[in-house]
């Protein structure tokens, strides 16, 4: 099983969106049985909550399933368990490196680094900007690249 974890701050806007989009892409590629996909937040404010209504709305508009997604906080155990830990921005990335223990073996990366030509390197936080469409476009493009990257590494 290839285990992929998306991480943001609250786990209600960006990372659940990335989780749902990436799951859809994996499904379309017929690789569902090879992947385990989840998301988590570095913060604890929204534990147990459903995604933000802006994230739910855009996923609905794009016909992407968002059922069964609830917020949780990332743990150092996650960094041992998951193969790919994908941060939405530099702050998340820094926090992940801070909680990472010695046994952490997964690749910890920033999502937009998978679009090398991207001028935007951090996924803007729509909790503050209100712009969920912008986030969707960035995350969607990066998820294509991420899946290509993982397939090359794991499945060829
Ligand atoms: P997210 O956005 O990290 O994309 O889920 C946020 C959601 C909630 C908060 C911050 C960012 N908050 O401060 O509660």
- Average pLDDT per consecutive 10 residues, the chain (156 residues; last block may be shorter): 98 98 98 98 98 98 97 96 98 96 90 96 97 98 98 91
CATH code of the domain covering residue 36: 3.40.50.2300
> What pLDDT, on a 0 to 100 scale, did the predictor assign at position 109?
98
Query: In the annotation, is 13 catalytic?
Result: no
Residue ranges lining ligand 1, Cβ < 6 Å = 8-14, 41, 45, 125, 127
- 135 Cβ neighbours under 8 A, 6+ residues apart: 13, 14, 17, 58, 123, 124, 126
> What pLDDT, on a 0 to 100 scale, did the predictor assign at position 58?
98
DSSP designation for 50:
P
Specify the number of domains making up the chain: 1
Which residue has the CA at smallest separation from atom 9 of ligand 1?
Answer: 10
* pLDDT digit string, tens, across residues 7-30: 999 999 999 999 999 999 999 999
* pLDDT digit string, tens, across residues 120-136: 999 999 999 999 999 99
Structural domain including 19 reads 2-154
Which residue has the CA at smallest separation from atom 12 of ligand 1?
Answer: 10
Q: Which pTM was predicted?
A: 0.98
Query: In the annotation, is 143 catalytic?
Result: no
């Amino acid at each position: 099983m290839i285990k992929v974890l998306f991480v943001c701050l609250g786990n209600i806007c960006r990372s659940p969106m990335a989780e749902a989009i990436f799951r859809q892409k994996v499904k379309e590629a017929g690789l569902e049985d090879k992947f385990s996909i989840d998301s988590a937040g570095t913060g604890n404010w929204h534990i147990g909550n459903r995604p933000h209504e802006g994230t739910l709305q855009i996923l609905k508009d794009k016909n992407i399933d968002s059922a069964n997604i609830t917020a949780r906080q990332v743990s150092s155990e996650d960094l041992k368990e998951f193969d790919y830990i994908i941060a939405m921005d530099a702050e998340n990335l820094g926090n992940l490196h801070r909680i990472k223990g010695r046994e952490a073996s997964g690749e910890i990366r920033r999502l937009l680094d998978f679009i090398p030509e991207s001028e935007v390197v951090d996924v803007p936080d729509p909790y503050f900007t209100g712009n969920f469409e912008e986030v969707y476009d960035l995350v969607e493009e990066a998820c294509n690249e991420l899946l290509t990257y993982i397939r090359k590494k794991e499945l060829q």
